[in-house]
Amino acid sequence: MRKNIAVLASGSGTNAENIIRYFREKSSACVALVLTNRQNAFVLERSCGLEVPCFYFPKSDWENGEAILSVLREHDIDFVVLAGFLARVPDLILHAYPNKMINIHPSLLPKFGGKGMYGDRVHEAVIAAGEEESGITIHYTNEHYDEGAIICQVKCPVLPEDTPDDLAHRIHALEYDTYPKVIEKLLESEG
């Protein structure tokens, strides 16, 4: 039976688009829904252009999660994927999807994670700390930012001349290659 994935995103939606396109070719799962917490997030336009239902929910709805959970249930969502989602997921939704909600973070957690650590802020911190490697961490989502059980990490070098943009480019390539495959493997292991 084909699994339905919901993607939560707050920004431009490049990871969301990559995941949507990846699963278009698969019979095991599809992205059935995209949700955002930002009214002007480009992910809305991207999703609509790919004919995936997409919804914006204001901050008040993300506080208790009832309206969001209702939409997830209406779309028979089996698995939730955070892709650049910059809000805390309400406990109500976390508890409805135990071990069925994952996030991707642009560093090797536990380093450079936590509230407020996203995007260029992470890459700037990695470079400022003089790290020789960075990468991505895919982990289960729980009540604390970037603290869920780690599923996998993929590393890349941090070069002495790297700018945050250089490092971001390398990290995005890892995300696009790895995240959909990990999602697929997790769904397959569920049976």
Q: How do residues 89-103 score in pLDDT, each as one tens digit?
A: 999 999 999 999 999
Residue 103, annotated as binding a ligand:
yes
pLDDT in tens, 53-96: 999 999 999 999 999 999 999 999 999 999 999 999 999 999 99
Q: Indicate if the pLDDT at residue 126 is higher than 80.
A: yes
Q: Indicate if the pLDDT at residue 1 is higher than 90.
A: no
Which stretch of 32-41, 102-111, 131-140, 182-191 has the lowest confidence by average pLDDT?
Answer: 182-191
Residue 125, in any domain of the structure:
no
Entry field: residues in the chain: 191
8 Å CB contact between 105 and 121: no
Residue 119, annotated as binding a ligand:
no
Residue 30, in any domain of the structure:
yes
* Residues β-bridged to residue 79: 5
Residue 137, annotated as binding a ligand:
no
pLDDT in tens, 168-177: 999 999 999 9
Is 105 catalytic? The answer is yes
Residue 70, in any domain of the structure:
yes
DSSP state of 159: -
Residue 24, in any domain of the structure:
yes
Residue 121, in any domain of the structure:
no
Q: How far is residue 3's CA from residue 27's CA, in Å, rounded to a whole number?
A: 9
* Residues β-bridged to residue 157: 133
CATH of the domain at 55: 3.40.50.170
What is the average pLDDT value for the chain, to the nearest integer?
A: 96
Residue 59, annotated as binding a ligand:
yes
Count of structural domains within the chain: 1
Residue 34 CA, distance from chain mean position: 11
Confidence of residue 190 (pLDDT cuts 50, 70, 90): confident
Q: Among 146, 76, 64, which residue's Cα sits nearest to residue 104?
A: 146
Tell me the pairing of strands 150-157 and 133-140. antiparallel
Residue 13, in any domain of the structure:
yes
pTM: 0.96
Residue 92, in any domain of the structure:
yes
Residue 164, in any domain of the structure:
no
Check residue 191 and give its pLDDT.
63
Token reading at 142: 């729980």
Domain of residue 8: give its range: 3-115+135-155+178-190
> Mean per-residue pLDDT for 35-46?
97
CA angle 146, 59, 67 (to 5 degrees): 95
**Which one of the listed residues 105, 123, 139, 172 is annotated catalytic?**
105
Q: How far is residue 166's CA from residue 158's CA, in Å, rounded to a whole number?
A: 9
